[in-house]
Structure 1
């Protein structure tokens, strides 16, 4: 038995190797019903053109109706054909139950939606076809049916990018495309990603984002491959719908493509050239020019780490500081002990902070770059105990401050415009159905919010869409269409944004131990997203820059940091509430 080293989870069904390819096999003459069902399920995992081999297991009329691109049902393991049932006079043939445990679904927009793991049971029916009486499938569930390992082998997550409504800030919209050539369109991954972008945002995100591409814009007909030249320039030919756009709009269109492709291709995208249908140039945009549309472009890349020290003061540990570097307290009332604090949030420009008092009754805002005096409280809670008062605050990318009052008698989600104006209640539609907001984190783009919701002793993670209506200087703000982000977890302890469409989550699955892992905002995850173990984690913080280390508070180890490729390192033995700006 080893007596050192990290502990890693082991799955009974190993993750599919992305380099492994499955080549489907045509049904043999005289194949039995068992062979037809097994062969068809295997053929669905292959890349053959238009799923031609999989269709060879279907009756002719069934093959015409089957649309594998319409949806994908993802099971924890490959579907298991049950014991067949022989049909009667009214419906001759044989029926096979397909059994498994469903964990997710992917719709026609390529959007992934996790579900609470539940038993899956559908039926596949076979009948004898033609004069030779060959067995073929004449009824089956819609779309594709894949086990998780086959799904991970065949598909890859990519962020499409659109502009936040009324703003020049990019918002990530994650979808899944084929890792290699798409069987239906025959497009390579780069072309699939651009095509998905041109199709528009997914339904969930659509109300709060805008595409700069004119309606109906698509790739020039017949385009199946987009390649980079030796200078990493990508030329993208568009159809006639885009031919008349002006230069300003065109550069924003190119920015959407640059952001979408920046993490997909192994060859770094340095420049995008958009072309008219006739091959003439519309515009050119470099990756450096596109940076002005990043969510944090106005304040740079905030990556300093902050925490509440043992004296309940706000302390700063500068980015890149050595392990031996002592943290320093910030200037002003938050750093000199005037306000003993319990939790804190630092604005994205790192000039202002918001702090909740130790008893969680009051929220204050103050400068952290000069020695100004502490102003009056911004929000007050009348909850009977600290656990029933204010949550930790969070700043969005617009400079607004968010906090939740957990008072059972008067619960509220509040937004403080510019961190100093009159607090405004934020409605949640539909309501929380008795759940209480335990914690919240708003995304850098300001259009999504992560909520930890407690009900019946269980805390779950949901993502909501932040909608604004009315005048820009005084909008009515609503959080709508909450959706589960980690349904596989029995309870979630802490959450932080960790990039444009990624969260770092602390929680545990049913019957499991606490774990720290990355989860996409669409709820998808991979075994590689599981991070090294850490005991008794109470809080976690991540930068929007995914290269920066995670920071966490462990009741056992204090304030700790996780650099890339290393294990957790203790920074300060006593402290709490670690945060990055935001």
Structure 2
């Protein structure tokens, strides 16, 4: 795969040395306009890499000895220098913003008392591309005493106050900087936009994309649900501490409103995290139930291990120094998606099993018989044994047994392909009547309308993730939105929608499929051919998948990605190298599918 959204690489002048406890960093000798020093450190440790002074170059991460930490590069900003031009001052200010969370003392030296009194560092962090340009200033009063300076830059993303990362498109237009001269005839910033402005390399250097794990709302079928955040590395604490401090807080806005819950009661605090060769000890305090809570241990385990922290070690959780529970490295995976990876495909309206090396027989009952006019097939959880399909008059369901019969359960002339929730309910969107419909096979009665915030848009697909929490919706030909099931006035309903990705003008989305609860596969067609992207639904990170031939439909489950060619004849599977495909069926193939998703 090829990653198509990158954070870039910050180029900076550096000095030889290391940054340990009590270290003193001396001022560098200036070569051109150098406004900051990057020092490579490991969070929570005193180990550092030695960086030679050889001019502008890319600085790689250094390894650290602390298994609870992540290596990172710390930005050391300097105060403005005498005689700096407006462009030099703005670049120095931006570097001071990059260093501000670790060292807030430098940035005020760039500001007048007026600006310092008004400027607020809180709010979203704006991220722009590295190669930003400081435009020539324009005078504000007919002289060079008061200047207005703007930036020309591409806006990459914003990091919200809840630590969510939101990709953006277009030019950054966050406002201008007003510069005035001080008593010594040096420029200082008298007015500036609110918040911190970082480059993509600043973010790559000081932040880490992190999955926090919360719980789905169904106590009978608890799942861990990943919430993607971008956490800033701190030189004063281990990354494990940073993760757990954030985990005990509410999830990001994408999963609020009752989409998920947590086993951490209000008031929980992380007192300490220590480690030995084979054990990590997490000491908590607060109103935790004295009875061991397996879900709390699972939240801690996956939030640490899935972010490559404490991996392979026993995690001992304490409450006020008393042992609460042990979590072994080989603990079961039941908290994550347990959906079957049994693969199927549809040929001439009949559903077939897809074995490792090709066709493996048809399913039982009428679903295994050829049938005209049925499309958009969807399988329930394997234990439920139901299949749904769209017809010209509605959605029909059949059991995968010899006694099963097709029965129309939702009527409508213009419905999206059906999708199953892991609770056993069936969903579709009625485009003609702008209504989201839910049918419960176990509840009796017909389909029920569900409150839906996107009903005014041209909804073309509605797909539920296997964890039963997130939903993906396509609107029109080229936009994907992500939401989650929340608690509304009328009960459980989709909400919290935000745009995940959109295509260029002239392109259209041909199909999409949930790969797992965190990633969506999106098949796009343009004049040059097709593009297949894997998109992280938490932060929009997009990875391109090479294509060998044109595809018509997708299905995925974990590591397995299947596709039918656009003529429907072949079924191909993506190999483990994520670059090449192998044909599973050379002819008489059809649309592949997995249970749920």
Shorter chain as denominator, the TM-score bin is 0.7 to 0.9
Contact 2:8 2:130 in 1 (8 A): no
Shift of 1:100: 2.2
* Structure 2 Cα separation of the partners of residues 360 and 15 of structure 1: 53
The one of 264, 268, 282 equivalent to 2:311 is 268
CA displacement 1:527-567 (0-9 Å, x = unmatched): xx111135543322221x3xx22112231573221122141
Contact 1:508 1:514 in 2 (8 A): yes
What does residue 402 of structure 1 align with?
Answer: 427
What does residue 114 of structure 1 align with?
Answer: 167
* Structure 2 Cα separation of the partners of residues 396 and 444 of structure 1: 7
Shift of 1:519: 1.4
Query: What pairs up with 1:305-316 in 2 under 5 angstroms?
Result: 305-309=343-347, 311-316=348-353
Distance change >3 Å, CA 218–CA 477, structure 1 → 2: same
CA displacement 1:159-210 (0-9 Å, x = unmatched): 21222235332222111113xx336xx3333222211111211233121222
Shift of 1:349: 2.3
The yes-or-no answer on 1:567 pairing with 2:572 is no
Contact 1:342 1:577 in 2 (8 A): no
Distance change >3 Å, CA 438–CA 43, structure 1 → 2: same
SS of match in other structure, 2:173: strand
The yes-or-no answer on 1:304 pairing with 2:342 is yes
What does residue 193 of structure 1 align with?
Answer: 243
User: TM-score when scaled to structure 1?
Assistant: 0.80
* Structure 1 Cα separation of the partners of residues 548 and 487 of structure 2: 39
Shift of 1:492: 2.6
Query: What pairs up with 1:20-59 in 2 under 5 angstroms?
Result: 20=61, 21=73, 23-26=75-78, 27-45=80-98, 49-50=102-103, 52-59=105-112
What does residue 409 of structure 2 align with?
Answer: 378
Shift of 1:420: 7.2
* Structure 2 Cα separation of the partners of residues 145 and 60 of structure 1: 20
* Structure 2 Cα separation of the partners of residues 345 and 10 of structure 1: 31
Distance change >3 Å, CA 166–CA 362, structure 1 → 2: closer
Shift of 1:107: 0.9
What does residue 381 of structure 2 align with?
Answer: 348
RMSD: 3.4
The one of 474, 493, 498 equivalent to 1:452 is 474
Shift of 1:150: 4.2
Contact 1:23 1:46 in 2 (8 A): yes
Distance change >3 Å, CA 44–CA 35, structure 1 → 2: same
What does residue 202 of structure 1 align with?
Answer: 252
CA displacement 1:374-415 (0-9 Å, x = unmatched): 14222232x2xxxxx332221222122222333x3x343222
Shift of 1:449: 1.1
* Structure 1 Cα separation of the partners of residues 393 and 253 of structure 2: 39
Contact 2:470 2:485 in 1 (8 A): yes
Distance change >3 Å, CA 513–CA 50, structure 1 → 2: farther
Shift of 1:575: 3.2
Contact 1:80 1:98 in 2 (8 A): yes
What does residue 333 of structure 1 align with?
Answer: 366
Shift of 1:45: 4.2
The yes-or-no answer on 1:155 pairing with 2:204 is no
User: TM-score when scaled to structure 2?
Assistant: 0.78
What does residue 46 of structure 2 align with?
Answer: none
* Structure 2 Cα separation of the partners of residues 538 and 177 of structure 1: 39
The one of 512, 516, 521 equivalent to 1:495 is 512
Shift of 1:59: 4.2
* Structure 1 Cα separation of the partners of residues 488 and 447 of structure 2: 14
What does residue 194 of structure 2 align with?
Answer: 142
> What count of residue pairs does the alignment treat as equivalent?
529
* Structure 1 Cα separation of the partners of residues 282 and 3 of structure 2: 43
What does residue 555 of structure 2 align with?
Answer: 541
What does residue 79 of structure 1 align with?
Answer: 132
Shift of 1:251: 3.4
CA displacement 1:482-521 (0-9 Å, x = unmatched): 2111145554332222223221212268x87531112122
* Structure 1 Cα separation of the partners of residues 234 and 6 of structure 2: 29
CA displacement 1:317-348 (0-9 Å, x = unmatched): 24xx24xx333211221113367632211122
Distance change >3 Å, CA 426–CA 151, structure 1 → 2: farther
Contact 2:353 2:359 in 1 (8 A): no
Distance change >3 Å, CA 89–CA 118, structure 1 → 2: closer
Contact 2:513 2:520 in 1 (8 A): yes
Distance change >3 Å, CA 531–CA 238, structure 1 → 2: same
* Structure 2 Cα separation of the partners of residues 373 and 487 of structure 1: 41
What does residue 224 of structure 2 align with?
Answer: 170
Distance change >3 Å, CA 352–CA 362, structure 1 → 2: farther
What does residue 422 of structure 1 align with?
Answer: 445
Distance change >3 Å, CA 363–CA 284, structure 1 → 2: same
Shift of 1:148: 3.7
SS of match in other structure, 2:269: coil
Shift of 1:276: 2.9
Distance change >3 Å, CA 292–CA 555, structure 1 → 2: closer
The one of 465, 482, 486 equivalent to 2:497 is 482
The yes-or-no answer on 1:461 pairing with 2:480 is yes
Contact 1:366 1:372 in 2 (8 A): no
What does residue 386 of structure 1 align with?
Answer: none
Distance change >3 Å, CA 188–CA 115, structure 1 → 2: same
What does residue 235 of structure 1 align with?
Answer: 281
